[in-house]
């Protein structure tokens, strides 16, 4: 750690926020180690950056002077829990020359991997009352050997190797998403590998280098389709819904903290919007004579309902509002009613956008840092 003003404590979990008698200033943070040690921490300002769900859980657990937890003055702490909708309900069938399809990553001027997406202009989105939704060309699920692709079968086998099942290789969630519908049948995968052996030999060194050695790692695996057909992977905003909530469970963890009950609820509007977005993309492809979408079922809404689950992105449970009765934190990420307790997290977002919460988490964290710096300067000047 090179920043001389920062003291970093490892292995501590903050289990409670203690406040003064009036319940409007933080007195201390209680923290515990798994080894049974307990300490108190006192600062001038406190910023919760424990991830959306754990921030919310900590605020809820700090309920000795605040019914339902600190920040629950409006009854909205833990409400409007949002993730995203994602899945595949269609295959894009291009009628253009297959070699012209850009199915993989591009690189920008800084060499960062970037990805082309189907999306909508904000004006079109508003006019059509669509949630913010994008789609990108995917790869068939690795675990389904009927893709007959040796590279994907090699990836399936690699993701099942003990080394890659650990955190060294890929997270469990990423592994599961890539493998998808795991039909087992190693023999069928091995047949795919034998058929494409020459292609695999040239592919592995370049992909292996890009994925494990290069400074900028290839984020994911996409493969060329000679048939010019690609699964279209959608990713969509979830509309804010007060019935979608997290709350404290009775069960406790190893440190005695109550765990969270999660009740993530999607709505008809979320589902219908995903289906409508696909109809617009299909129309666009046909109008421009580039191809069309082939749907995976006749009942698309039911299919989207079965795919709605998320769990990757956590948004909305300490929502931001100008007025205290409409949210948990104010426009400076400060818990309403406190001047020393802040939240730096996607839990303050009032909408979920189509994806990639982290960029906005960082933007809001920088904004909070500026605000605290200005407040400090104002206070020093007035002394
Ligand atoms: C599989 C997967 C894929 C994802 N892909 C993307 C993506 O492509 N793009 C994107 O933008 N986002 C993605 N995300 C979301 C992204 O990971 C989160 O938005 C981001 O990590 C949130 O950062 P954070 O610092 O707020 O919280 P976290 O990363 O959750 O960090 C919080 C830290 O606080 C610690 N902590 C929690 N509670 C306490 C406590 N009480 N006391 C002390 N410490 C505590 C935790 O141990 C953790 O280290 C993905 C998430 C997953 C799971």
Closest-lying ligand 1 atom to the alpha carbon of residue 58: 41
46 domain-assigned: yes
Closest-lying ligand 1 atom to the alpha carbon of residue 171: 1
- Mean pLDDT, residues 85-110: 94
We report the CATH number of the domain holding residue 354 as 3.50.50.60
Closest-lying ligand 1 atom to the alpha carbon of residue 57: 41
Q: Whose CA is nearest to atom 10 of ligand 1?
A: 356
| Total domains, the chain | 1
Tens digits of residue pLDDT in 105-144: 999 999 899 999 999 999 999 999 999 999 999 987 788 8
41 domain-assigned: yes
202 domain-assigned: no
172 domain-assigned: no
Tens digits of residue pLDDT in 15-27: 999 999 999 999 9
33 domain-assigned: yes
Cβ(49) to ligand 1 under 6 A? Answer: yes
Q: Which of 92, 6, 17 is nearest to 318 (CA)?
A: 17
Per-residue pLDDT, 163: 65
Q: Who's near 276: CB < 8 A, 6+ residues apart?
A: 128, 130
Tens digits of residue pLDDT in 259-305: 999 999 999 999 999 999 999 999 999 999 999 999 999 999 999 99
Q: How far is the CA of 51 from the centre of ligand 1 (A)?
A: 5
Cβ(357) to ligand 1 under 6 A? Answer: yes
Q: Who's near 250: CB < 8 A, 6+ residues apart?
A: 258
Per-residue pLDDT, 44: 93
User: What region does 324 belong to: left with phi over 0, alpha with psi -120 to 50, or beta?
Assistant: alpha
Q: Is the pLDDT of residue 31 over 60?
A: yes
301 domain-assigned: no
Cβ(297) to ligand 1 under 6 A? Answer: no
333 domain-assigned: yes
Decide if 322 contacts 71 (C-beta within 8 A).
Answer: no
**Percent over 70 (pLDDT), the chain:** 97
Using CA atoms, how far apart are residues 240 and 350, in angstroms rounded to an integer? 7
Closest-lying ligand 1 atom to the alpha carbon of residue 13: 42
Best residue among 32, 55, 312, 314 to mutate for probing ligand 1's pocket (most ligand atoms within 8 Å of CB) is 312
Q: Whose CA is nearest to atom 15 of ligand 1?
A: 313
Mean confidence (pLDDT) of the chain = 92
Q: Whose CA is nearest to atom 51 of ligand 1?
A: 312
Confidence class for position 169, pLDDT limits 50, 70, 90: low
2 domain-assigned: no
Confidence class for position 361, pLDDT limits 50, 70, 90: very high
- Range of the structural domain that residue 17 is part of: 13-81+315-382
Q: Is the pLDDT of residue 311 over 80?
A: no
């Amino acid at each position: 750690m090179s920043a001389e003003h920062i003291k970093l404590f490892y292995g501590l979990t903050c289990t409670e926020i203690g406040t003064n008698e009036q319940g409007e200033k933080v007195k201390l943070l209680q923290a515990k180690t798994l080894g049974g040690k307990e300490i108190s921490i006192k600062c001038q300002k406190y910023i919760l950056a424990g991830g959306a769900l754990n921030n919310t859980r900590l605020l809820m657990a700090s309920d000795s002077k605040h019914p339902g937890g600190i920040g629950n003055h409006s009854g909205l702490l833990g409400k409007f829990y949002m993730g995203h909708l994602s899945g595949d309900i269609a295959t894009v069938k291009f009628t253009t020359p297959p070699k012209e399809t850009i199915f993989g990553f591009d690189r920008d001027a800084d060499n960062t991997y970037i990805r082309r997406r189907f999306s909508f202009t904000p004006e079109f989105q508003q006019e059509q009352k669509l949630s913010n939704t994008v789609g990108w060309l995917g790869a068939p699920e690795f675990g389904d050997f009927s893709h007959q692709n040796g590279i994907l079968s090699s990836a399936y086998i690699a993701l099942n190797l003990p080394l890659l099942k650990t955190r060294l290789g890929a997270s469990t969630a990423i592994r599961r998403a890539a493998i998808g519908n795991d039909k087992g049948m190693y023999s069928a995968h091995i047949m795919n590998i034998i058929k494409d052996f020459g292609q695999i030999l040239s592919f592995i060194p370049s992909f292996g280098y890009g994925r494990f050695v290069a400074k900028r790692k290839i984020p994911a695996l996409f493969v060329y389709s000679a048939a010019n057909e690609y699964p279209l992977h959608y990713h969509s905003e979830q509309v804010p819904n007060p019935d979608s909530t997290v709350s404290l469970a009775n069960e406790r963890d190893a440190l005695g903290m109550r765990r969270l009950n999660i009740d993530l609820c999607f709505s008809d509007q979320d589902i219908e919007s995903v289906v409508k977005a696909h109809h617009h993309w299909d129309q666009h492809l046909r109008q421009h004579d580039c191809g069309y979408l082939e749907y995976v079922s006749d009942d698309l809404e039911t299919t989207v309902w079965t795919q709605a689950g998320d769990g990757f992105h956590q948004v909305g449970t300490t929502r931001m509002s100008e007025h205290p009765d409409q949210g948990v934190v104010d426009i400076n990420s400060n818990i309403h009613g406190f001047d020393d307790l802040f939240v730096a997290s996607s839990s303050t977002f009032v909408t979920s956008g189509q994806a990639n919460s982290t960029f906005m988490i960082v933007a809001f964290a920088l904004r909070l840092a500026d605000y605290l710096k200005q407040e400090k300067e104002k206070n020093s000047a007035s002394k």
